[in-house]
Homo-oligomer: A and B are copies of this chain.
């Protein structure tokens, strides 16, 4: 079979399997997830052995230590996958919920029922634990999943999926509900992205290059985010100590993640107090400050920011700092350079807080809180399958509910339309 035929067969089988998943009870789905956790533990040696093949190949190919670290299924990572399965089993099942059931003038009862999407395709890079985490969330939401991980993790991904599929079969469930694409060729991604009849959603996770490739070539809806360029705006009426704490937490606690702070905006009238306070703390923490001219007038030791520092995702201990005239100028900067990820204002002014919340277009908008809270777990979604800065369907962290949709249901008693 050609790659295209292989992929299309997988997708057809995934669609067929999804029709069985919609009939499973909540108890049945949870029992499968719990048995998968047991199986992962029992089959740990086999999985580690397959993982060693990927690690050996990676060392031969000269992968960096960081890449090899992401690839390794260490005992800690194995345990995290097992815990993840049990956490997903414990989450409430969104499927079947009926909302807004109302009687219409015609006499029919119309409502909306939450249902699985059907078939989801995950395209991701090196971490093989995504295979288990994504499979668990898709299964719980009643979806088949087609997993396409990085070529460097192919043995690990196939081994993990084999263990999950054994459990499906033992529970009488079609194993095609969880499939790993066995072809490492990039042509397999192209083939997947053309199957809009069989696949309902594509979620790419990884570097910007991969995500752009998927977004530009997919006929299937894609939920994605390219990057997180998060801003904190310190308003004129901000509490200086609060501003310092939030900026430090947002920038320093974990600088390499997408909800870390990248640009600080400071109200012109607050700058003489805020900048020395925050600047001193940042410098003490090893953060390089790249400032606009007004910032440098107050913090003369900082580097001059270039135009390309605005809107840049440093993912490092570097912070761009700009002094702005007022709330409108801050929102103008965010509209121009933001990434629709997470934006926060520090203020004690009620009207400005409300305007910022209402007017700033981003998937998460905050008042007096660190951007680091932008996360499915912190927001109470349970496990997170990704973050969307696409506005359709899901905007922000995505949990189980975002892997479902709602259809209209009608209870009639023989009504016909006049």
Contacts and interface: CB of A to CB of B under 8 A. Distances in A.
Interface of A: 19, 22-23, 96, 102, 104, 106, 108, 110, 113, 115, 117-118, 196, 200-201, 215-216, 219, 221, 223, 239, 242, 245-246, 248-250, 253, 335, 344, 357-359, 361-370, 372-374, 378-380, 390-393, 395-397, 405-417
A372 B405 CA distance: 23
Given A358-B96, A396-B407, A397-B408, A372 B201 contact: no
B113 A369 contact: no
Given A369-B108, A412-B369, A414-B245, A361 B115 contact: yes
A414 B358 contact: no
Nearest to A250: B416
A374 B409 CA distance: 10
A405 B380 contact: no
A261 to B, nearest CB: 11
Given A395-B406, A405-B392, A407-B365, A373 B106 contact: yes
A388 to B, nearest CB: 10
Contacts of A200: 391-392
Given A215-B219, A380-B110, A416-B245, A409 B365 contact: yes
A88 B219 CA distance: 33
A229 to B, nearest CB: 14
Q: Which are the 9 A-B pairs with shortest beta-carbon distances? A: A369-B412, A249-B416, A366-B410, A372-B417, A393-B393, A242-B414, A368-B412, A392-B393, A221-B392
Contacts of A223: 392
A413 B241 CA distance: 12
Contact of A113 (B242, B248, B358): B358
Contacts of A253: 416-417
Nearest to A20: B359
Contacts of A405: 391-392, 395
21 contacts: A104-B379, A106-B373, A108-B378, A113-B357, A113-B358, A215-B219, A245-B414, A246-B416, A249-B416, A250-B416, A364-B410, A366-B411, A368-B412, A368-B413, A368-B414, A369-B415, A370-B416, A372-B416, A391-B405, A395-B405, A395-B407
